[in-house]
């Protein structure tokens, strides 16, 4: 399998009154279709790493390749385009737009570029709503949904453009254990069904145990990398 994400010697320094380096020479790659977790304590640099993979943040040094594209020299517009086409984000907070219904929120990544025919997308949206068990609330405004439903809607939104990579940062951090189990099951199902690469950041070792590869990061350095 080819690598869909590749980081070469990545450093990240936050400039300020005192410069803070959070990543030190990270070399890391993820295979297409793999199901991975990144674990570490808070402040270890795992979220920063995920944001760099998601092209939301830039490395201070080193190279980043996403789906074969070297991102270092890409313009803001090209990066936005790459994100829209290849990456789906699921954060700890759902980050849905409160002004829109669940279905409209899910369709937003599609509306940004409209690369595929509308019929296909509508079908995929229905499929995702069914798979995530939120078909009943699809026309509800965000405020009219439970926390679990909101997070599932956010997952559907991450998947609507059929991205190569899903980046999830503590996706169940705000959910109860029942919802947490369901969501990881859905992640696995999607991974198997669509071959989507998952990179899940979590501080919960039990969740990480369910993935095929665990990367542990400590003080900005990779200390453990186990493939099952």
**Which residues contact other proteins (rule: CB under 8 A)?**
51, 54, 56-57, 76-77, 80-85, 89, 91-93, 95, 97-100, 108-109, 111-113, 157, 169
What 3-state class would DSSP assign to 101? strand
Q: Which is nearer to other proteins, 112 or 135 (CB)?
A: 112
From its phi and psi, is residue 209 left (phi > 0), alpha (psi between -120 and 50) or beta? alpha
Strand 87-90's sheet: what is its strand order? 87-90, 165-169, 197-202, 35-39, 213-218, 221-227
> In whole angstroms, how close is the CB of 91 to other proteins at the nearest point?
6
Instruction: Considering the complex, state which of residue 197 and residue 210 has its C-beta at the smaller distance from other proteins.
Output: 197
Smaller CB distance to other proteins: residue 20 or 111? 111
Q: Where are the alpha helices (DSSP H) in 58-117?
A: 76-86, 102-113
Q: Which is nearer to other proteins, 58 or 185 (CB)?
A: 58
- Minimum gap (Å) between residue 1 Cβ and other proteins: 25
Distance CA 11, CA 16 (A): 16
Least Å from the CB of residue 97 to other proteins: 5
Min dist CB 114 to other proteins, Å, is 8
- Give CA–CA dist 132/157, Å, rounded: 11
């Amino acid at each position: 399998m080819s690598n869909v994400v590749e980081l070469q010697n990545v450093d990240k320094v936050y400039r300020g009154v005192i410069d803070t380096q959070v990543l030190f020479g990270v070399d890391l790659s993820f295979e297409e279709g793999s199901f991975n977790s990144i674990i570490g304590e808070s402040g270890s640099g795992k979220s920063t790493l995920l944001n760099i993979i998601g092209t939301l943040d830039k490395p201070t040094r080193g190279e980043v390749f996403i789906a074969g594209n070297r991102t270092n020299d890409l313009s803001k517009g090209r990066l936005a385009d790459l994100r829209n086409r290849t990456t789906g984000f699921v954060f700890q907070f759902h980050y849905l737009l409160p002004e829109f219904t669940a279905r409209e929120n899910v369709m937003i990544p599609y509306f940004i570029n409209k690369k595929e025919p509308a019929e296909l997308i509508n079908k995929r949206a229905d499929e995702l709503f069914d798979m995530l068990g939120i078909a009943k609330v699809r026309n509800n405004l965000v405020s009219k949904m439970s926390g679990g439903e909101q997070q599932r809607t956010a997952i559907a939104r991450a998947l609507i453009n059929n991205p190569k990579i899903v980046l999830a940062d503590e996706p169940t951090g705000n959910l109860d254990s029942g919802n947490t189990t369901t969501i990881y099951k859905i992640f696995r199902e999607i991974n198997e069904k669509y071959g989507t690469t998952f990179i899940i950041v979590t501080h919960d070792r039990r969740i990480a145990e369910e993935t095929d590869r665990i990367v542990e990061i400590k003080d900005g350095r990779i200390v453990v990398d186990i493939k099952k």
